[in-house]
Every structure is written in C-alpha cells, then in structure tokens.
Amino acid sequence: MTEPTLRYEVAAANRAIAAHGLVTLSFGNVSGVDREAGTLLIKPSGLACAEIGPDDLVEVALDDGRVVAGNRRPSSDTPTHRHLYREFPSIGGVVHTHSTSAAAWAQAGRPIPALGTTHADYFRGPVLVSRQLRRDEIEGDYELATGAVIAETIRSHDRSADDSPAVLVRAHGPFAWGATPAVAVENAIALEQIATIAWRTLGIDPSAPAISDELLRRHFDRKHGEGAYYGQPSSAEVRR
C-alpha cells in the first residue's frame, strides 16, 4: 500500500488543476507514484477533478495495472501514466488536461516555439508535439500507445523528461509531469501560460523570432541546472 501522505498530495493536485482552470468537468487527471510500493494513485474515471478527495483515489500496480486498492474504476488514461513512470524514473507525478491553449496547439499538430524567457524557465527548447497515432495503435491498446508515443517523441528529439516536462499528444492534448504531483501541476500551469503567450505573440507577428540559444540556456539552467540559483535554498542547504 502506498504512503497516506501521497493520497492527500494527489487529491490536492487534482483539485488544483480544476482551480487553475486547466480542466472542465472530468476532462483530466493527476496521478502520483510510490516507487517503493510499486504503485500509483490516480483519479477515478469520469469524476470531476474539483471534487476529488484522498479516499476517492484508485491505487494501481505499476507493473501490470491491476487495482490494488479502491472501489472505483481508475482513469482510462492510467496505462499512459504507468508507461511514463516506467520509462522515466525521475517522474513522481503526471498531469493530463485538455487546457484550452495547449490543446489548440496539439490539435494543430504544431510544437510550441521557444519565443521568450517564460518558456525558457520550463523547457530547454520547443514544447514537443507527437506524431499521429497509427490505426493499429488506436484500435489496439490505445492508452498504452499514447504513453509510448510520448516517450518516443522525447527520445527522438534527443530530449529528456527533465528538460521537456510536457508533450502535446497530437489531436488530443497535453501531458505534463514533474518530480512530485505538485510540480507536475506547476508544469501544466506553466505550459498553458506558455501556449497562450506564444499564440498571442504569433498573432501579433507571425514571423516573431525564437529566443536565442544563449538566453534560453541561461534561463533554464538558472532554475534547473547544476548551479541553479532561482528561488530559495532548501532547509538542508541553509543548514550547511
């Protein structure tokens, strides 16, 4: 069984994506993984994110997807979440939404170009968009194939789950992740803001240039690099 604290974190993260306007009705889900227990917690299928409490969550085995605890059916996107956790060990939380601007880029099949520092604070390059799923993938294990195409998209662009904390699944919507469910939510919020800013920028000037490589690297690394100095130090760093 997973740690009780994780239940509260995952439930709060599901409510947070609703509070931040990233989901409508039940169009989305958040999960969190307990790697020591070998399970993940995820929102039940069809329930509104805004109403999720700790006891509503379904616990699912990471290896084979069986329900370990919970009386409800887990989200239909559970195989996608499981695949991402198995492919990328640094991920602790996954968020799926149909947030308006990010979903629009996904439906257009266009990566979000890195135009400014808001983008560079979260992504070391464009926000990637996947290829279309093939007919056999759609008619087969569709949700698992969705996870596989996300992982394929990251690797085929020589990126990592850490420098690309979200992928737009073509004709579907965004999946975002992070070290914890709360960080995954932050990345999903940032993605929607980035998608909106890019859309409006290109509406003003369709030929707006990309941010320079130097500025992009500086902004990403000051927040995520080895010598990161954005924000406040951890309590352990303060004690040192």
From the list 8, 121, 141, 221, the catalytic residue is 121
Cα dihedral 89/41/5/35 (nearest 10): -30
Burial class (CB in 10 A: 0-12, 13-18, 19+), 41: buried
Residues 210, 114: contact at Cβ < 8 Å?
yes
Based on the residue annotation, tell me whether 121 is a catalytic residue of this protein.
yes
Rounded distance between C-alpha atoms, residue 86 and residue 128, angstroms? 20
Residues 96, 168: contact at Cβ < 8 Å?
no
Residues 102, 168: contact at Cβ < 8 Å?
yes
Name the token pair of 193: 């803001």
Residues 6+ apart with CB under 8 A from 119: 112, 127, 194, 197, 198, 211, 216
From the list 63, 142, 213, 230, the catalytic residue is 230
Task: Give the residue numbers annotated as catalytic, written as ranges.
Answer: 121, 230
